[in-house]
Amino acid sequence: MDLRQFLMCLSLCTAFALSKPTEKKDRVHHEPQLSDKVHNDAQSFDYDHDAFLGAEEAKTFDQLTPEESKERLGKIVSKIDGDKDGFVTVDELKDWIKFAQKRWIYEDVERQWKGHDLNEDGLVSWEEYKNATYGYVLDDPDPDDGFNYKQMMVRDERRFKMADKDGDLIATKEEFTAFLHPEEYDYMKDIVVQETMEDIDKNSDGFIDLEEYIGDMYSHDGNADEPEWVKTEREQFVEFRDKNRDGKMDKEETKDWILPSDYDHAEAEARHLVYESDQNKDGKLTKEEIVDKYDLFVGSQATDFGEALVRHDEF
């Protein structure tokens, strides 16, 4: 399937989904929960295992003996200690937990990196991305699938330039990650808001009014009666989204809606792990302190740490 066919299929699937009168589109970017387990250390450390390793990694815990588990945990600790000072701080542990929870993002970047680093120099230029993504379709002034590829390319270029911190139109892997997943980076949040507003703001007045807000997530499809959740969303818009009560959302109001300041679950878990493991109460952990509490971090069942270590090489 070439790019044009893929995008056409994607568009049709999206249109079908949006045509369902009870289908709700969620544009809000929430930090995911660290685990669906109950966080009760008096009963088990399952929540902590999911948080520290990621739920998928934690499923294979029953493969290793306690001795093997401790050995491999020690190797992970060496990875977490970013400045190599022999200690793991709350911030370093928080960064690891966030990495463990978002491995799918790094896996997605790895897949796309291979297809866009055409000259294999360890960088992806805008020209490489443009050629790999759009290629010959840009030469067709009137594509028969109805897509405006040049408009799509302009939007991609704008986001690429935002992700490219030094402005050389060549992305490192970190910059490429910010380009593909802008919601994960603070310096990319403005472009997330801008793109969202452009998608929803049908009259192009620079704001999102109530009907545009509802129309983005719900299609009447000939039905006069709205579901209860749509009525609730109307109330949410009036009471909470439109903070200055002018009948529309501006850029800041839209940002508060789609990028809320969530409770930092990763930091809370990092502080919990440090508190439970910090034997000398100096506010940071040695490798020995972590391994001594291996059952809190990984248990005696352990996991496929080899995969975790390989993936963490890009962390």
Q: How confident is the model at residue 7 (pLDDT cuts 50, 70, 90)?
A: very low
312 — pLDDT class (breaks 50, 70, 90): low
Instruction: Please give the mean pLDDT across all residues of the chain.
Output: 83
90, 267 contact by CB (below 8 A): yes
166 burial via Cβ count (<10 Å: 0-12, 13-18, 19+) = exposed
pLDDT score at 6: 43
| 91-121 per-residue burial string, b: 16 or more CB within 10 A, e: under 16 | ebbbbbbbbbbbbeebeebeebbeebbeeee
Tell me the domain boundaries of the chain: 65-207+250-309
Cα dihedral 87/93/95/101 (nearest 10): 150
- pLDDT grade, residue 143 (50/70/90)? low
The per-residue pLDDT for range 151-198, each reduced to its tens digit, is: 889 999 999 999 999 999 999 999 999 999 999 899 999 999 999 999
Q: Are 180 and 111 in contact (CB under 8 A)?
A: no
pLDDT the model gives residue 232: 94
Count of CA atoms in the C-beta half-sphere (13 A) of 87: 12
The closest of 214, 220, 225 to 248, measured between CA atoms, is 214
224: its two tokens = 């006069």
Max CA distance (Å), the chain: 70
Confidence of residue 70 (pLDDT cuts 50, 70, 90): confident
Using one digit for the tens of pLDDT, what is the confidence trace for 74-122?
Answer: 999 999 999 999 999 999 999 999 888 888 888 899 999 999 998 999 9
What does the pLDDT read at residue 145?
59
DSSP helix/strand/coil, 40 = coil
How high is the pLDDT of residue 27? 82
Give the list of residues 6+ apart from residue 312 with CB closer than 8 angstroms, or none: 76, 79, 99
How confident is the model at residue 61, as a pLDDT?
A: 54
Please tell me the predicted confidence (pLDDT) of residue 286.
97
Asked if the model's pLDDT at residue 12 lies above 60, the reply is no
Q: Which tokens belong to 204?
A: 């192009």
Q: How confident is the model over 238-283, as pLDDT tens digits?
A: 999 999 999 999 999 999 999 988 778 899 999 999 999 999 999 9
